[in-house]
A and B are shown apart, each in its own frame.
Chain A
């Protein structure tokens, strides 16, 4: 379970979050939706504990966290399978076992044969799959995804989304997915938290699809062209 209670956070003198409160239940797939620069990534960083709130509290009951970043963030000096095993080794697994687990994930992600390739030798989509493998290999209690497919082309994005859906059906876990794409949010989540300008947050019930789509169309109409 993740709970934000009246959380405020400023970065570089700029207020990013103000009195934010919400709760995410265990094994819930939640999407945080909102335009760029509104503080979505800050929420993820608060969950990992890499930054602390200025006021309020963030409670995270699970400890194993997997993180898929917007860009792969792979260690360029480590091979694909060494990158996947990074989180496992950080969790205390011995090197050999971690490498074997990483190899299984490489096969699962369609990367068999590329184990000893360095990130720069892989395509963008392959690198992102290694990054997905790194996050999932630790069998996380909480999986954080920060617009992981935003810089990929549509064909690749759809392929990776399908793959991720299949895996998450198998390994059900708490997922916090950050995106600005309403259609992705509708496709994947149990619940949507929509961040609005002025430090407001709207909670959208995914079961009431009509209301969600209405909300989406209203946003679309309001967005200035160009």
Chain B
């Protein structure tokens, strides 16, 4: 057999050698950002007083106190479950409808008014309507998160499909790929980047919406705890719940979404 690799056919660099220092730099910049935020927070607390802005140390004390209460963990778990359910429903609905719209112009035109309505109505209005329809509790909160998340995932899916290289689709047709293979080999991996970007955005939105919905219409969950702390004018506790919400968002983004993203986008990372 002939040796076909000519001098000019060199494999491109995988870039692995430079990965470590870049990661260290990223961590350093990130820590600097956190330190800056803490500094601003402490300064605001000193300027406006503990009643308005609880200091980082007072908030930490309140957080330790909350952590010792059983109901705190129960509320976190309830909110987490609602959030996951809403994100799942919203993502699946958005992805499904997005694929249908991206592949069929007629479906896209039909869904356009619904997308516009869902994106335009403020979250608070959806929460009020959901309370009227579904009462207070799980169903209402999950419904609101779903309605807020679905259009964002939908738009990212449609955009991802529209940006897909037409030549790959023609290649798929030439090799007679089945509909299932088109979906698993071309469409889904092709929209991965766009959908994951949308999901990262929706996690932040999801936490905000779920807390807002709970604040308005639930007897439990983080939002309800916010409501109680606000009624008692307990500023340190309010700030402690803010930290808990942020941690929840961090767990979702870095503990769940990032590993999924790394798995899906492995080819892009290795190609860089």
Residues of A with Cβ closer than 8 Å to B?
45, 48, 50, 65, 67, 69, 71, 73, 75-79, 86-87, 89-91, 107-110, 114, 117-123, 125-126, 129, 134, 138, 144, 153, 155-156, 159-160, 162-163, 166
Which residue of B5, B171, B186, B271 contacts A118 across the interface (Cβ within 8 Å)? B271
Which residues of the other chain, B, contact A123 by a CB distance below 8 angstroms?
8-12
Which residue of B8, B181, B271 contacts A120 across the interface (Cβ within 8 Å)? B271
Cβ-based interface call for B185 (8 A):
yes
Q: How far is the CA of A126 from the CA of B6 in the complex (A)?
A: 10
Q: How far is the CA of A119 from the CA of B177 in the complex (A)?
A: 20
Name which of B1, B2, B9 has the most chain A CB atoms within 10 A of its CB: B9
User: Total A-B pairs in contact (CB under 8 Å)?
Assistant: 100
Q: How far is the CA of A78 from the CA of B271 in the complex (A)?
A: 11
Q: How far is the CA of A86 from the CA of B177 in the complex (A)?
A: 8
Contact B174 A65 (CB under 8 A): yes
Contact A156 B8 (CB under 8 A): yes
Q: Chain B residue with minimal CB distance to A119?
A: B271
Q: How far is the CA of A110 from the CA of B1 in the complex (A)?
A: 8
Contact A153 B3 (CB under 8 A): no
List B residues 150-205 near A (Cβ within 8 Å): 167-168, 170-171, 173-178, 181, 185-186, 189-190, 192
Residues of B with Cβ closer than 8 Å to A?
1-6, 8-12, 14, 167-168, 170-171, 173-178, 181, 185-186, 189-190, 192, 267-268, 270-271
Q: Chain B residue with minimal CB distance to A65?
A: B174
Q: List 7 A-B contacts (CB under 8 A).
A: A73-B167, A78-B267, A90-B177, A110-B2, A123-B12, A144-B174, A163-B2
Which residues of the other chain, A, contact B4 by a CB distance below 8 angstroms?
109-110, 129, 159-160, 163
Q: Chain A residue with minimal CB distance to B264?
A: A77
Contact B8 A76 (CB under 8 A): no
Which residues of the other chain, B, contact A87 by a CB distance below 8 angstroms?
175-176
Q: How far is the CA of A138 from the CA of B11 in the complex (A)?
A: 26
Q: Chain A residue with minimal CB distance to B186?
A: A75
Which residues of the other chain, A, contact B6 by a CB distance below 8 angstroms?
125, 155-156, 159
Q: How far is the CA of A110 from the CA of B6 in the complex (A)?
A: 11
Which residues of the other chain, B, contact A77 by a CB distance below 8 angstroms?
189-190, 192, 267-268
Q: Chain B residue with minimal CB distance to A138?
A: B175
Which residues of the other chain, A, contact B173 by a CB distance below 8 angstroms?
48, 50
A48-B173, A73-B168, A121-B270 known; A90 and B8 CB under 8 Å? no
